Amino acid sequence: MIRWGFLGCGLVAHDVAEDFALVGEATIHAVAARRIESARAFSQRFGVPVVHDSLDALLADPDIDIVYIATPHHLHRDHCLAALRAGKPTLCEKPFTTDAASAAEVIDAAREQGLFCMEAMWTRFFPAIRRIKALTDAGELGELQWLSADFGYPTWRDPASRFFDPSQAGGALLDRGVYALSLAQHLLGEPEAIATLATHGETGVDEQSACLLRFPNGALAQLGATLNGLTGNTAILTGTKGRLQILEPFYRPERFAIEYASAAEPAGRGGGSRLARHPALKKLRRRLAPVLKARLRGQRYTHRWPGNGYQFEIAEACRCLREGLTESPVMPLADTLAVMRMIDTIRSHWEH
């Protein structure tokens, strides 16, 4: 049994804890939080046997095999470094840190210590996303050309909340945009060029943003994130052979569909009847040809799962520990660092 220590017990930590019942080899051994009352309530709800009153006490616990960090974004770097320096393997909530330099610092520490470290980018671990990655790598869509994805829903306007407070690394990009960026990096690689616009609110955080990315093969991605309204929360990936739509919500998907297409042939070739050669019908055929030639056939995929969907990242972390891996091949540290570099580039454009 792999024994986990939880640092932080907010809403996400509660959702993650609920899914431990779905992973047979994992158990929550201990918890610590900024407020001891919160840690005790968490312990009572989930039957966690040990409550620590500080980070240091949690990290000194010899019965903890791995630490899950679920603290606010701006604390991730310091908490990851503390855990790794204490000799604890680490699973850190997204975003891994707030910038690429901090991410590199944590990654270097993990590698120096020879310890497992992974970003809890839960989207990567869902069966649907793993199936999509396998299909696209096998050329099911042909050469990938285009990705569009957006993530947004209305957020209660509290200037002191982690969403709107700059001191807590608030903003749509780190909270929601990171999902689309990670998906783009996973499927298309690291971009060679980025263009972006953002709307900053009264507190100074980016309340919504749009990004256009170009990749070395010429593929483009159009990504959006907002704290202010409900978007489609879907993703569409287009290749030379067809397109794939990840149905709402793309960041924790159960369903996706593929439509296959062939290049439209020029309309009006050949002879045919006098009616078929009528100028009006020829013009109509010419207009409809792309539509008629597209959507030749399609396939729908469903990967349903119980719980909240966090069991897949928990299981992957347990597998890596059991097999002695220091990184997950599903969510390697190089991918985490690449996404943080993308975030740095996006914000640098906003500053100018």
Catalytic residues: 94
223: three-class secondary structure by DSSP: strand
One-letter amino acid of 298: G
* Of the candidates 151, 152, 144, the residue with the CA atom closest to the CA atom of residue 244: 144
Greatest pairwise CA separation for the chain in angstroms: 88
The answer to whether the beta carbons of residues 1 and 27 sit under 8 Å apart is yes
Kindly list the strands in the beta sheet with 242-246, ordered across the sheet, starting from the edge strand earlier in the chain.
193-200, 206-214, 220-226, 144-152, 235-239, 242-246, 255-260, 297-302
Residues in Cβ contact with 328 at an 8 Å cutoff, skipping those fewer than 6 apart:
118, 316, 317, 320
Q: Taking the CB of residue 288, how many other CB atoms lie within 10 A of it?
A: 12
What is the torsion angle, in degrees rounded to the nearest 10, for the CA atoms of residue 339, residue 341, residue 105 and residue 121?
Answer: -10
| Integer Cα distance of 313 and 126 in angstroms | 8
The pair of structure tokens assigned to 315 is 């299981």
275: three-class secondary structure by DSSP: coil
The answer to whether the beta carbons of residues 296 and 260 sit under 8 Å apart is yes
Counting Cβ atoms within 10 Å, is residue 351 exposed (0-12), middle (13-18) or buried (19+)?
exposed
Number of H helices and E strands in the chain, helices first, is: 11, 14
